[in-house]
Structure 1
């Protein structure tokens, strides 16, 4: 069965262009293309949609509001696809339930792969988006940063390591910060990966910053 995709964008050129591009892939079915968030929510409430591609700035209801409604009221996975990488939009969209945040300037194949990842229950954050979230963590406790992870899974030292990974520190920098050997830091990271079923440190950072249980940096 193909992945059923909804496209919501107030720019008709982009909306129809994206419909043509995605329809060219055999495993995708573009079920509808709408021009605002309210129409996207209404369609998802009445029909089965796997992934909803939502622009941020739309009339009637913007992408963040639509994400919140779709995530709370349907089984559809909201995915922000936009030209805006503003910090406020990123955090609001992720907190609202967005499974991904990607910029429109990506190649079609990257967007295709990202939709597949979101459909497969992964989280997709573009590198620039992840960097902005990390900057927020560096500036101080971001709203919700680390607040959605299951802290009972980890030791206090592992939680310290996770937080520092999210700030972009290397193993060597973490070892100096926590007064541990690099080998001990590596052991903590191995333990964290085993407990979360994640694969590498970038996924640990996304896990901490977004609370995503199956993150992906694609």
Structure 2
């Protein structure tokens, strides 16, 4: 089996090298590079094949959110954010920019391992504690310019798809859970994007989560 190629970007050399040592103990991982900031991460991924980029949020030259956007737009690398509790605004922006995972730095190594494998296999991985922080954050934000969340715009199945996207399921996982084909799942997602004016599934997740928060208020 091919190893999952990982890049680590963190301006704290102790965290960076420590994470490298931990990840390299797993036989399915190959840490191909460690860099000091987001710009170095983007430059490397533009030149080399990298499956997963683990990005600190706060870095010099280019932070993890900006790097996430550039990686999502210009490479096949899947960005995963490593964050701390005081990075709420960064997390929200990272989701909008295409981050595939949101992990806390004090997460158990085994959970980080599972998260990386999940993202590699097409899932979006969001820890419950991060999800809770996002919901709190969304309550305090002003409404964005996208269409307001209106359940009457969507079919019951589309709402089901949106909920599963928000939970981080891949198209394959959704097709198994809902007993429909992956192509049908993709068609539903296309319909949702058309109705909302959104561009990708991570935006659907935020859109749905925001609607869920508003309904509880």
Whether TM-score is above 0.5 comes out as: yes
Partners of 1:136 and 1:142 within 8 A in 2? no
Alpha-carbon offset, residue 49 of structure 1: 0.2
Counting matched residue pairs gives 174
User: Which residue number in structure 2 is paired with residue 111 of structure 1?
Assistant: 112
Structure 2: how far apart are the matches of 1:104 and 1:4? 20
1:177-192 residue pairs with structure 2 within 5 A? none
Using structure 1 for the length normalisation, give the TM-score: 0.68
Structure 2: how far apart are the matches of 1:101 and 1:144? 24
Residue 155 in 1 paired to residue 155 in 2? yes
Alpha-carbon offset, residue 113 of structure 1: 0.6
Partners of 2:95 and 2:203 within 8 A in 1? no
Cα-to-partner distance string for 1:73-115 (whole Å, 9 max, x where unaligned):
0000000012245321111000011000110111111101100
Using structure 2 for the length normalisation, give the TM-score: 0.68
Please list every run of 5 or more consecutive structure 1 residues that lacks an aligned counterpart in the other structure: 167-191, 198-205, 213-218
User: Which residue number in structure 1 is paired with residue 128 of structure 2?
Assistant: 127
Aligned with residue 206 of structure 2, among 196, 207, 210 = 210
SS at match of 2:42: helix
Alpha-carbon offset, residue 121 of structure 1: 0.6
Cα-to-partner distance string for 1:43-66 (whole Å, 9 max, x where unaligned):
000000000000000001000000
Cα-to-partner distance string for 1:143-170 (whole Å, 9 max, x where unaligned):
488889xx97x4279759x78xx8xxxx
Please list every run of 5 or more consecutive structure 2 residues that lacks an aligned counterpart in the other structure: 167-176, 186-201, 209-217
User: Which residue number in structure 1 is paired with residue 68 of structure 2?
Assistant: 67
CA RMSD of aligned residues (A): 3.5
Structure 2: how far apart are the matches of 1:144 and 1:130? 22
